[in-house]
């Protein structure tokens, strides 16, 4: 994700989620941006299998990467995670 997009999402997360919900965008993001680089790398490595399983599914969707795996995040206008 480019720096401009990342900056906008921190300023207007609802706006970003609205745009994502209207298209086919697929997003994986770290749920906590205040992690040391080594922890971020380890979280991506630990989540890689789950991410590769989810990636072929049609979008739009957004998943947070947590210490215990990935979890689908709600997009604008959704009441809960989509069932693929």
Show the tokens assigned to 31: 């749920």
Predicted confidence (pLDDT) per residue in 9-39, tens digit: 455 666 766 766 677 788 899 988 899 999 9
Judged against a pLDDT cut of 50, whether residue 82 lies above it is answered with no
Model confidence over 35-68: pLDDT tens digits? Answer: 999 999 999 999 999 999 999 999 888 999 999 9
Check: CB of residue 70 under 8 Å from CB of residue 63: yes
pLDDT for 11 equals 59
The pLDDT assigned to 7 comes to 43
pTM for the model stands at 0.68
């Amino acid at each position: 994700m480019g720096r401009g997009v990342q900056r906008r999402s921190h300023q207007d997360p609802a706006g970003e989620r609205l745009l994502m919900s209207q298209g086919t965008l697929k997003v994986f993001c770290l749920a906590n941006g205040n992690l040391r680089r080594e922890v971020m790398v380890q979280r991506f490595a630990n989540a890689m299998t789950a991410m590769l399983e989810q990636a072929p599914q049609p979008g739009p969707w957004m998943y947070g990467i947590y210490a215990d795996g990935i979890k689908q995040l709600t997009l604008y206008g959704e009441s809960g995670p989509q069932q693929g």
